[in-house]
Amino acid sequence: MANNIPLIVYPTKDLEKSKKFFNTYLGTEPYIDGEYYVGYKVEEREVGLDPNGTEIISYIDVDDIEAGLKTLQEAGAEVTVASKDVGGGLLIAQVTVDGNVLGLRQRAK
C-alpha cells in the first residue's frame, strides 16, 4: 500500500488569518475558497484549511477506500471516520494509530 501523500489538511480557528498566511507561504491563491474548506494546489499536492478541524490530517489516495480501510485496520489502525461522500462522489475516511489521524481519499469514478 505504498502511497504518496497528496493532501495535508490543517485545522484553523481564524480562516481569514490562515488564508492570508498560506497565500503568502505557498505563493498562490486558493482554488477552492469556501466557508467549510479552503484548498490550495501546489504542483501535485493539495494543502487544505479546515475551520472545523482539530488536528493536522494527511491523506493518501486509494482506488478502493473500503479495501484500504481493511488493510490499515489489519495493520493496527482504528477507523475513526467511516468512508463518506463529501461531494461529487469524492470519498474520504480516517483512521487513528498511536494518537495520529490519517486519511484516505478515493476520487469519484
* Positions in the chain whose pLDDT score sits under 70: 1-2
pLDDT attached to residue 107: 92
Distance CA 41, CA 36 (A): 17
Q: What's the CATH architecture for 1-56?
A: 2-Layer Sandwich (3.30)
Instruction: Give CATH 3.30.720.120 domain extents, the chain.
Output: 1-56
pLDDT attached to residue 2: 60
- In 5-99, DSSP assigns E strands to 7-11, 32-33, 38-42, 45-50, 57-61, 78-85, 91-97
pLDDT attached to residue 105: 95
pTM: predicted TM-score of the whole model, two decimal places:
0.86
pLDDT attached to residue 76: 94
CATH class of 62-109: alpha beta
Please tell me the total number of residues recorded for the chain in this structure: 109
